[in-house]
Amino acid sequence: MYHGVSQYGGHGTMAVKVFEKQMQFLSKRYCFTSFEKFNEAQSSNRKQILLTFDDGYNNNFLYVVPILKRLNIPAIFFVSHRHCQPGKYLWFSYLKALNGYFQAQKLSLHGNLFDFNSRNRQKSIQKIRSLLLDLNPHPSEMYKVIDQELPGMESFVPEEMISEYFSGMSEEELKIIARDELFTLGVHTADHAFLTQCSPEETRNQLLKNIDFLKNVTSVEPTLIAYPSGDYNEAILKICREENLSNGFSVIPIRRDWNDQDVPRMGVYSSSLVKLMIKIILGDQLRSLNFKIG
């Protein structure tokens, strides 16, 4: 599981050179599989890799897609469509932008004044994060506060940095990906909500809005979901089944036994090939010993 990939890295993304090196390294040692062949691959002896990308960043289209095309590697892109609309961003992208680009020394929010001096900036971002995530109902109230009380991202981040790091894929880009036989698009909720914090109605709403968006843009009905932040429970799995999301991807699974709704994944966050190999070779065993490897 990967997330953002940018030209030089930064703001939680991986540099494109590092990403390409990892793909070349892995394609020499393993076989990449598509979702269609994934279930057959389970019974094969040879370890196969199914590559997934969460969130649906514009930088996936800019940097990841050309590399995967060149190396003929299949992948699933799980898209939260909030940031596929102009001027809209996922909540944590907004926080990363605030951390990296906001110039003023103070920021007022919801009756609090936050210190943005370099010394206290991280701590203030953490406090703002908690404040936003504690707002109810989740996630609508959080986005209302971001939209109404905080400065627009365009007012403090240069346009080219927004498309490099923070915006989602455009509808045109999603169409191109959906038409490509190598790639599959999947659900990641409308707003990248923490599903266990949503009411059952809101959970369904987060899924249905995302399914409709992807279906309308690409003419393909999605059947796969990656649970945002790996946050879900049995009640959420039931709603997913009811909405025909037959396969679900988690990070650390809540169920012990392998099943289609709870497929475990390994996140790749480091440029180190050694760490990557440890996750691939030993990840499952370490998890079975209760190490929380994500």
For Zn ion, the binding residues (CB under 5 A) are 54-55, 228
Instruction: Choose between 83 and 121: whose C-beta lies nearer to Zn ion.
Output: 83
Instruction: Choose between 74 and 228: whose C-beta lies nearer to Zn ion.
Output: 228
**Rounded-to-5 percentages of helix, strand, coil across the chain:** 50, 15, 35
Instruction: Choose between 4 and 228: whose C-beta lies nearer to Zn ion.
Output: 228
Q: Are 189 and 149 in contact (CB under 8 A)?
A: no
Pairing of strands 183-187, 75-79: parallel
The nearest distance, CB 133 to Zn ion, in angstroms, is 14
In the bound state, the residue with its beta carbon closest to Zn ion is 54
The nearest distance, CB 11 to Zn ion, in angstroms, is 15
Strand (E) positions, the chain? 5-6, 14-15, 31-32, 48-49, 51-55, 75-79, 106-109, 112-115, 183-187, 224-226, 247-249
Distances (CA, A) of 272 to 183, 269, 279, 292: 26, 9, 11, 19
Residue-wise burial string across 126-143, b where 16 or more C-beta atoms lie within 10 A, e elsewhere: eebeeebeebeebbeebb
The nearest distance, CB 40 to Zn ion, in angstroms, is 27
The nearest distance, CB 188 to Zn ion, in angstroms, is 6
The nearest distance, CB 84 to Zn ion, in angstroms, is 14
Instruction: Choose between 80 and 218: whose C-beta lies nearer to Zn ion.
Output: 80
Instruction: Choose between 88 and 121: whose C-beta lies nearer to Zn ion.
Output: 88
Instruction: Choose between 222 and 228: whose C-beta lies nearer to Zn ion.
Output: 228
**What is residue 270's DSSP assignment?**
-
Token pair for 118: 């370099």
The nearest distance, CB 104 to Zn ion, in angstroms, is 29
Token pair for 209: 């809005």
